[in-house]
Structure formats: structure tokens, C-alpha cells
Chains A and B, each alone.
Chain A
Amino acid sequence: MAVSSINWFKYASPPTFYPLAGKLIPWFAYAAVLLTIAGLYIGFFVAPTDFQQGEAYRVIFIHVPAAWMSMFIYVVMAIWAVLGLVLNTRLSSMMASALAPTGAMFTFVALWTGSLWGKPTWGTWWVWDARLTSELILLFLYIGFLSLQAAIDEPRRADKAGAVLALVGVVNIPIIYFSVKWWNTLHQGSSINLTAAPKMAVTMLTGMLIMVLAFWMYSIAVALMRVRCIIAEREQRANWISHVAGE
């Protein structure tokens, strides 16, 4: 095939990618741990008490990063899934499958922490407004993707079916993101705006952004761990896997 002569395509093949991913995982894991320590230190010990919400606002340091990751991972997952569908590359589809559980986890965390933040500040655990409902739909999309793939035995057919679902579900992402602008909602507006100055103290913002980085590093580390498992499970009949799996 013509594409195999292009050098960077080399990394798209499971036998090359598997050991590379294995080498990268510890670095992302260390970065995640260090950034979490730094982010939480700033979040709890440097950032001041909020004049309106008191200490309840400290949920922000996990709530906003988790909510961002839930949306971001979905988009990345959909891109990998569609690449796998269009280019017929196995590894792309495996990346999509590897991201889904982590995305679902962050969606759950965003909903859970949001609920615990909503109770003391809004007086309710849950409200069926646009932001919360669309985030709940995101959780269902992740669960749908995972159960659809689990229900189909043949991996490549599961990849294709999942890709279609992931692609259709992408419409939900701008709905979540802009829901606070498009509809009247109990949820506050975006914490960060590229065009306006941040509405919160610099230390609060710093702690939150460091936690975003920490969650990124974590997501990359676990997604690489999972994609290695998926590769090994799917390619167990191939000769190369038994040679590299020992390391």
C-alpha cells in the first residue's frame, strides 16, 4: 500500500504504537499526580474564600475541569471513531473505544460534583434546565456507545456502529457549551471567556486551569493504558504481541 511508505503512518500501526504508548504512560501519570497536587494546593490553601459562596465554591476545582474533559473527550472520541470509519484504520477505532469509559467517568463526576455544588448555592440537587439536561444526555451517549460496542461481537462491526453513534451525538456538544447563552438557566455562565476578563480571582483561575491540565494528563495516561489492553486483546493471535507484551 502506498501509505505505508510515509513515515508517520508507522505510528498508526498497532505493533509500533503498542510499545511507544507503554513508554509514554508513566510520564503522563507522573505529570497528572504532580499537577493534581499543585492544583489542589492552590485550590485549597492559596485561593481565597469566595465572597458570595463561601467555601462551597471550592468544588469548582474539579467540577469545571471534569465538565470540560467530558465534552472534550467526546469530540476527540468522535474524531477517532470517524477516522477509523473513513480511513479504515484499526488503531483509530481502538482509540475511540479507549476514550469512552474515561469520558463517561468525567461526565458522571461533572454531574455529581455539580449536584453537590447546586444544593448549597441554588437550593436544589437537580433541575431540568438546558445545561444539566444536555450534560445528562452526554452521559447517556457515552453509555450508549459503550453498550453498543459491547453488544456486537465482531470488533470491526462494533467500531463502525459506534462511530455512527459517536458522530450523531456530536450535535450535543455545542448544545451543552452554549446552553447557558441560548436558554435561561440556573447554571452560571462560562467560567472562562476568551473575549472578556475572567470574573474570578487570579489564584482561583490558576488552580482551576492547573486541575484542567492534571485531568488532561490523567485522561491521556488511562486512555493509553486502555488502548494497549484493547490492542492486546484484539491482536492476541498476531505474533508480534507476544514478543512485546512481556516488557
Chain B
Amino acid sequence: MNWGSAGEFFAMGGYAFYVWGAYAVTALAIVAEVWSLVSRRKAVAEMLGRETKLNDEMTHEAQT
């Protein structure tokens, strides 16, 4: 174990700004990418749902 206490861990031997700055922005970039993909997938699902519904209605209308 490298760290005597949680405080020591977060201090990173005086390099806290650099180390945590690097990790925080990386985590942020990953979260942003995953979030954008999840919302893109939702938009796609909605779009396809609309199309399917529209298609079904049209076939229904054609049949009646």
C-alpha cells in the first residue's frame, strides 16, 4: 500500500492537480461519449418507432 491515509492519496505527493486533472478530464470525455451515444440510440429508436407506426397505419388503411 502506497498511502498512509486518504488525504495522502488525494494529495498525490503534491501532484494532485496534474494527476487528478488528467484522470478527471479523461473520465469526463468517456462519460460524454457514452452519454451522446445513449441519446443518439434513443433518437434512432424513436425515429424507427414512428416509421414502423406510420407503415402499419398505411398498410392498415390500404387494407380497409
Interface string of B32-54 (1 = CB under 8 A from A): 01100100110011011001100
Q: Quick one: which of A102, A117, A236 contacts B22, CB cutoff 8 A?
A: A117
Cβ contacts under 8 Å, B3 to chain A: 45
Cβ contacts under 8 Å, A48 to chain B: 2
Cβ contacts under 8 Å, A222 to chain B: 33-34, 37
Interface string of A44-69 (1 = CB under 8 A from B): 11011100001110110011001000
Classify chain B: how many residues form its interface, as a range: 20 to 34
Q: State the main secondary structure of chain B at its contact with A.
A: helix
User: Among the listed stretches A6-14, A75-83, A193-201, A226-234, which one makes contact with chain B, having 4 or more residues with CB under 8 Å of it?
Assistant: A226-234
A105: Cβ under 8 A from any B Cβ? yes
Number of interface residues of A (CB under 8 A): 36
Q: Quick one: which of A55, A105, A108, A226 contacts B13, CB cutoff 8 A?
A: A55
Instruction: Decide: B48 and A49 in contact? CB cutoff 8 A.
Output: no
Q: How far, in Å, is B52 (CB) from chain A's closest CB?
A: 4
* Cα of A233 to Cα of B2 in the assembled complex, Å: 50
Q: How far, in Å, is A234 (CB) from chain B's closest CB?
A: 10
* Cα of A116 to Cα of B12 in the assembled complex, Å: 14
Instruction: Decide: A102 and B33 in contact? CB cutoff 8 A.
Output: yes
User: Apart from A113-B22, A229-B37, what are 8 other A-B pairs with CB-CB below 8 Å?
Assistant: A55-B12, A59-B19, A62-B23, A105-B29, A119-B18, A233-B47, A236-B51, A245-B45
Q: What are some 24 contacts across the A-B interface (CB < 8 A)? A: A45-B3, A49-B2, A54-B14, A55-B13, A55-B14, A56-B12, A56-B19, A58-B19, A59-B18, A59-B23, A62-B26, A63-B22, A113-B26, A116-B17, A116-B19, A116-B22, A119-B18, A218-B30, A222-B33, A222-B34, A229-B40, A229-B41, A236-B51, A242-B48
B residues at A contact (CB < 8 Å): 1-3, 9, 12-15, 17-19, 21-23, 25-26, 29-30, 33-34, 37, 40-41, 44-45, 47-48, 51-52, 55
A residues at B contact (CB < 8 Å): 44-45, 47-49, 54-56, 58-59, 62-63, 66, 101-102, 105, 108-109, 112-113, 116-117, 119-120, 218, 222, 225-226, 228-229, 232-233, 236, 241-242, 245
